[in-house]
């Protein structure tokens, strides 16, 4: 289920305050309210009683996320809708939650934007992590399709590309709307007029 907290602590050279762990439920024993009440300032995702701690993002990752969040917020100002960014929970189904790097809800679906989480989203963006590429490229691709999220943008700094995936009606898997390299402009099939300059996004500072 991803990188465990103990492995993260060792990697970051930290010595956890083990006594604090006794204040929280054991893995498998977390309730939805426990999860939504957790305030740790980092990516923590939830699956039927279990927490998944994701690696801390680096500067490049955060710069790219900021660029996308800004672009989506600008689009919302002109077309309606709402944008958000991680760490913020999005329910896929039941007690399965992810925290996409950036997400967008169209104006007609704003009722799905709850106070502490969203019920799915219309568009999600993930910046591929070099430490766990499979999570964004395969695992989340399958999960977001299963949840019925219409559009998924995969931003891969290592490959210098943005892949836009769309979910056709009555289909259970994404199809590629476009794979855009540096020097090109990535466009949305869902949000009319939403475009991102690939070079500017990937070289954001």
- State the SS3 of 91-141: EEECCEEECCCEEEECHHHHHHECCCCEECCCEEEEECCCCCHHHHHHHHH
Q: What is the mean pLDDT of residues 173-177?
A: 97
**Helices first, then strands: H and E counts in the chain:** 7, 13
Over 70: is that where the pLDDT of 6 sits?
no
Among 9-18, 55-64, 140-149, which range has the highest average pLDDT?
140-149
3-state helix, strand, coil in the chain (%, to 5): 30, 25, 40
Over 80: is that where the pLDDT of 61 sits?
yes
Percent of the chain past pLDDT 70, that is, above it, reads 81
Over 50: is that where the pLDDT of 60 sits?
yes
More confident residue, 42 or 203: 203
Segment 31-44, tens digit of pLDDT: 777 666 666 666 77
* pLDDT for the residue numbered 190: 97
Over 50: is that where the pLDDT of 183 sits?
yes
More confident residue, 15 or 50: 50
pLDDT confidence tier of residue 1, bands split at 50, 70 and 90: very low
Flag whether the pTM goes above 0.85.
Answer: no
Distance (Å, whole) CA 63 – CA 54: 18
Q: According to CATH, what is the number of the domain 59-202? A: 3.90.1570.10
Longest Cα pair distance anywhere in the chain, in angstroms? 52
* pLDDT for the residue numbered 115: 87
More confident residue, 80 or 172: 80
Token pair for 136: 């964004």
Average pLDDT, rounded, for the chain: 87
* pLDDT for the residue numbered 132: 83
Domain borders along the chain are: 5-53, 59-202
Distance (Å, whole) CA 137 – CA 199: 21
- How far apart, in Å, are the Cα atoms of 171 and each of 91, 106, 148, 166, 185? 20, 21, 9, 10, 27
Distance (Å, whole) CA 132 – CA 136: 8
């Amino acid at each position: 289920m991803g990188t465990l907290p103990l492995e993260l602590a060792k990697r970051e050279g930290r010595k956890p305050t083990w006594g604090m762990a006794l204040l929280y439920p054991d893995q498998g024993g977390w309730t939805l309210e426990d999860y939504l009440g957790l305030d740790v300032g980092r990516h923590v995702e939830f699956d039927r009683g279990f927490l998944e701690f994701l690696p801390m993002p680096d500067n490049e990752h955060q710069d790219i996320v900021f660029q996308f969040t800004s672009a989506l917020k600008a689009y919302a100002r002109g077309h309606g809708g709402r944008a958000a960014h991680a760490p913020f929970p999005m329910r896929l189904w039941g007690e399965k939650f992810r925290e996409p790097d950036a997400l967008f809800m169209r104006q007609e679906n704003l009722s799905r934007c709850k106070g502490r989480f969203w019920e799915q989203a219309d568009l999600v963006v993930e910046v591929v992590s070099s430490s766990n590429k499979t999570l964004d490229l395969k695992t989340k691709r399958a999960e977001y399709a299963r949840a019925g999220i219409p559009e998924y943008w995969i931003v891969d700094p290592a490959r210098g590309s943005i892949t836009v995936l769309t979910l056709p009606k009555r289909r259970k898997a994404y199809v590629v709307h476009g794979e855009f390299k540096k020097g090109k402009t990535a466009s949305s099939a869902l949000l009319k007029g939403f475009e991102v300059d690939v070079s500017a996004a990937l070289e954001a500072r």
